[in-house]
C-alpha cells in the first residue's frame, strides 16, 4: 500500500513511533488514526433568465482539497483518555501530539460532588487486523473533472425542461482515500474508501411566489451511484415537486393523524430513535431510552436496525474508528428496546460487547457514538391502506433536517413538502410544516408501517466540539395516530380546533 505522500513503510514506522512513544510515557493503551483523503467539490447555481430553456446564468464553483493527518488517543493508568491530532507528520510534531494526548490522559481529579470519579476503561482488548475496500465500480479519482461537471449539466438540462423551473442549485462532492488505524493492542486496520454525493435543489417561481424542493443522491461507492438515469429521474421529480407546490398555502397546525413518506420517516427514525439510543447519552442520564432495555417503548410493528454494512448507503463502513468491525444492531424489535449503539468505552461501562459504532469526523476528532445507516424495518401496509381510514390528516414528504433533545425526549424535523389528507385520499399540496413530538409518544402512536423500505443519504451533527458526518437512513411509509404539526393554520374551517389539552 502506498498512501499519497507517505509510503507504506514510512507510515508503519510513523504509527510505531507514535504508539511506542505513548507507551513510553506511561499509557496503558494508545491508538493512532492516519487519514489521507482527497475531496472534489463542484457547485452549480443555474438560473433561467428571459425564458431561456437550460438556464440563463450558471455560476460554477469547483474546489479540490487534500486532508492528511494523524490523531492519537492515549488512555492513562486511571482510565482517562487524552486525544490530540496534527496535520504535520514530522517527527517533532508527532512527538508533541503524543505528549499532548498523554497529558490529557494522565491528569484530573474528581467532580464537584466527589461522586463518579473520572474516566472509564475501554473494556476487554480488541485486536483487529484487516484490510478492506468499500465497493465501487467507477472510482471518483478515475474520472476527469469535466465528466463530473457533466453530471450536473445533465441534471440542469432535465430540470429546466419544466417551464416552471427558475433555479437549479447543485452541490456535488466526492471523497476518496485511505484510513489506517493501529493500536497498542495489536490492531491494524486499513480501509480504502470512496463516497459520492449529489445534493440537488430545484426552485419554481412565478411573480412573488416560489417553492423549492431538494433531495440527495449517492452514498459510499463510485460514480455508478450517480447514473444518468438516476440523475435525470431526480431532476424530473424535483422539478415536478417545485412546480406542483408553487403557490401552496401554509399547512394547518395542531395535533392530527400524520403519514410520513420514506424520507420523512428516515428523518424521524434518525432524530428520534437513533440519537436517543446512543449509549453515551444513555449513560449520562441524558436520554429517555435510559433504563428501558427489554421494555416495550413502541408499537408492536416497529423494528429499528442500524447496519453500517448496508452496501451503497452513505453511512456504510467496514471498521469503525476504534478498529472494531461494524455490526448490524437491532435497537428496537417489535416495539421492545433491545440494544444501544456503542463505542468501546460505553460498551465497557454497560458490560456489553462493542458493536462498531465509534465514528470521528476526521483524524482531528475523537471517535464518539454515532449511527451508521439506521432504518425502520418494513411492515405490510400500502400507502392506500394507510390513507383509507383517515378522515382528516396530513402527509409529510421528503426531508430537510431535524433536531433532537434526547434528555427531554423531544425532537423536531421539517419535511420538504406536504399534502392534506381528506376522507381517505391525498388532497391539495401545502407548504412543509415541522413535526414536533415526544419520542416515546410518537413511537407508541405508529399504527401502520409500510412495505416500501427505501434509503437516502443524509448527514448528522453531534458532539462537542461538533462533528458533522455523512449518515444513511431508511424507512417505509409510517402512520402516526397523533403528531403535533407546526403549521401556521389555513383558511379551511374543517381544520379548526385541532389542538387538545392546554392550560
Helix (H) or strand (E) holding 486: none
Cβ 427 vs Cβ 495: under 8 Å:
no
* Shortest Å distance, C-beta 217 to another protein: 10
Helix axes of 145-159 and 228-245: crossing angle, nearest 10 degrees: 40
Residues 502 and 495: their CA atoms lie apart, in Å, by 18
Sort 177 into a burial class: Cβ within 10 Å, 0-12 / 13-18 / 19+.
buried
* Shortest Å distance, C-beta 99 to another protein: 11
In terms of CB distance, is 179 or 212 closer to another protein? 212
Cβ 265 vs Cβ 332: under 8 Å:
no
Residues 396 and 480: their CA atoms lie apart, in Å, by 11
For CA atoms 358, 361, 364, 368, the dihedral sign is: negative
For CA atoms 155, 55, 414, 260, the dihedral sign is: negative
Helices (H), 175-298: 228-245, 262-268, 279-283
Helix (H) or strand (E) holding 322: none
Residues 119 and 284: their CA atoms lie apart, in Å, by 13
Cβ 75 vs Cβ 105: under 8 Å:
yes
In terms of CB distance, is 166 or 481 closer to another protein? 166
Q: Tell me how long the chain is.
A: 503
Residues 224 and 165: their CA atoms lie apart, in Å, by 27
Sort 464 into a burial class: Cβ within 10 Å, 0-12 / 13-18 / 19+.
exposed
* Shortest Å distance, C-beta 279 to another protein: 12
Residue 79: how many other CB atoms lie within 10 Å: 18
Phi, psi (degrees; rounded to nearest 5) at 44: -145, 130
* Shortest Å distance, C-beta 501 to another protein: 4
Residues 68 and 62: their CA atoms lie apart, in Å, by 20
* Shortest Å distance, C-beta 334 to another protein: 26
In terms of CB distance, is 329 or 460 closer to another protein? 460
**Strand 417-422 to strand 358-359: parallel, antiparallel, or no bridges (unpaired)?**
unpaired
What is the gyration radius of the CA atoms in the chain, in angstroms? Answer: 24
* Shortest Å distance, C-beta 394 to another protein: 13
* Shortest Å distance, C-beta 449 to another protein: 25
In terms of CB distance, is 17 or 385 closer to another protein? 17
In terms of CB distance, is 207 or 503 closer to another protein? 503
In terms of CB distance, is 364 or 476 closer to another protein? 364
Query: What would the grid cell of residue 355 be?
Result: 458493536
* Shortest Å distance, C-beta 49 to another protein: 10
In terms of CB distance, is 422 or 431 closer to another protein? 431
* Shortest Å distance, C-beta 278 to another protein: 13
In terms of CB distance, is 196 or 448 closer to another protein? 196
Cβ 302 vs Cβ 446: under 8 Å:
yes
Residues 246 and 429: their CA atoms lie apart, in Å, by 9
* Shortest Å distance, C-beta 269 to another protein: 17
In terms of CB distance, is 8 or 107 closer to another protein? 107
In terms of CB distance, is 169 or 187 closer to another protein? 169
* Shortest Å distance, C-beta 333 to another protein: 24
In terms of CB distance, is 128 or 473 closer to another protein? 473
For CA atoms 132, 311, 363, 356, the dihedral sign is: negative
- Residue 203 CB-half CA count within 13 A: 17
In terms of CB distance, is 175 or 383 closer to another protein? 175
Hey, what's the torsion of the CAs at 333, 337, 341, 343, to 10 degrees?
-130
* Shortest Å distance, C-beta 263 to another protein: 14
In terms of CB distance, is 139 or 199 closer to another protein? 199
* Shortest Å distance, C-beta 240 to another protein: 19
Amino acid at each position: 500500500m502506498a498512501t499519497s505522500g507517505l509510503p507504506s513503510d514510512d507510515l508503519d514506522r510513523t504509527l510505531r513511533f507514535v504508539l511506542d512513544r505513548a507507551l513510553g510515557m506511561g499509557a496503558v493503551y494508545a491508538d493512532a488514526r492516519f487519514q489521507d483523503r482527497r475531496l472534489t467539490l463542484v457547485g452549480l447555481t443555474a438560473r433561467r433568465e428571459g425564458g431561456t430553456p437550460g438556464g440563463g446564468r450558471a455560476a460554477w464553483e469547483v474546489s479540490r482539497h487534500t486532508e492528511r493527518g494523524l490523531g492519537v488517543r492515549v488512555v492513562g493508568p486511571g482510565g482517562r483518555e487524552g486525544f490530540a491530532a496534527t496535520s504535520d507528520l514530522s517527527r517533532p510534531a508527532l512527538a508533541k501530539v503524543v505528549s499532548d494526548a498523554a497529558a490529557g490522559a494522565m491528569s484530573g481529579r474528581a467532580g464537584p460532588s466527589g461522586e463518579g470519579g473520572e474516566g472509564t476503561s475501554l473494556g476487554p482488548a480488541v485486536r483487529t487486523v484487516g484490510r478492506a475496500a468499500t465497493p465501487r465500480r467507477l472510482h471518483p479519482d478515475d474520472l476527469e473533472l469535466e465528466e463530473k461537471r457533466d453530471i450536473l449539466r445533465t441534471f440542469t438540462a432535465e430540470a429546466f425542461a419544466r417551464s416552471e423551473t427558475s433555479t437549479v442549485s447543485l452541490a456535488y462532492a466526492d471523497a476518496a482515500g485511505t484510513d489506517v488505524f493501529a493500536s497498542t493492542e495489536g490492531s491494524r486496520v486499513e480501509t480504502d474508501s470512496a463516497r459520492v454525493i449529489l445534493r440537488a435543489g430545484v426552485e419554481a417561481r412565478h411573480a412573488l411566489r416560489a417553492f423549492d424542493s431538494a433531495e440527495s443522491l449517492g452514498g459510499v461507492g463510485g460514480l455508478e451511484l450517480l447514473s444518468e438515469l438516476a440523475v435525470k429521474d431526480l431532476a424530473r421529480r424535483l422539478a415536478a415537486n417545485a412546480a406542483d407546490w408553487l403557490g401552496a398555502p401554509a399547512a394547518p397546525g395542531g395535533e392530527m393523524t400524520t403519514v410520513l413518506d420514506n424520507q420523512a420517516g428516515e428523518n424521524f427514525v434518525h432524530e428520534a430513535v437513533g440519537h436517543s439510543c446512543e449509549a453515551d447519552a444513555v449513560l449520562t442520564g441524558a436520554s429517555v431510552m435510559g433504563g428501558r432495555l427489554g421494555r416495550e417503548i413502541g408499537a408492536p410493528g416497529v423494528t429499528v436496525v442500524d447496519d453500517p454494512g448496508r452496501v451503497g448507503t452513505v453511512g456504510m463502513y467496514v471498521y469503525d474508528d476504534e478498529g472494531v468491525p461494524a455490526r448490524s444492531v437491532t435497537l428496537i424489535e417489535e416495539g421492545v428496546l433491545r440494544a444501544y449503539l456503542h463505542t468501546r468505552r460505553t460498551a465497557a461501562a454497560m458490560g456489553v460487547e462493542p458493536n462498531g459504532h465509534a465514528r470521528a469526523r476526521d483524524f482531528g476528532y475523537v471517535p464518539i457514538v454515532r449511527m451508521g445507516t439506521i432504518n425502520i424495518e418494513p411492515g405490510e401496509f400500502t400507502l392506500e391502506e394507510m390513507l383509507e381510514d383517515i378522515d382528516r390528516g396530513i402527509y409529510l414528504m421528503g426531508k430537510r433536517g431535524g433536531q433532537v433533545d434526547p434528555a427531554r425526549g423531544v425532537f423536531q424535523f421539517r419535511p420538504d413538502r406536504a399534502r392534506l389528507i381528506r376522507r381517505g385520499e391525498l388532497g391539495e399540496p401545502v407548504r412543509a410544516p415541522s413535526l414536533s413530538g415526544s419520542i416515546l409518544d410518537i413511537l407508541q402512536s405508529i399504527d401502520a408501517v409500510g412495505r416500501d423500505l427505501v434509503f437516502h443519504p443524509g448527514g448528522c451533527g453531534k458532539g462537542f466540539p461538533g462533528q458533522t458526518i455523512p449518515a444513511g437512513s431508511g424507512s417505509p411509509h409510517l402512520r402516526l395516530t397523533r403528531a403535533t404539526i407546526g403549521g401556521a393554520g389555513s383558511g379551511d374551517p374543517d381544520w379548526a380546533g385541532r389542538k387538545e389539552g392546554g392550560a
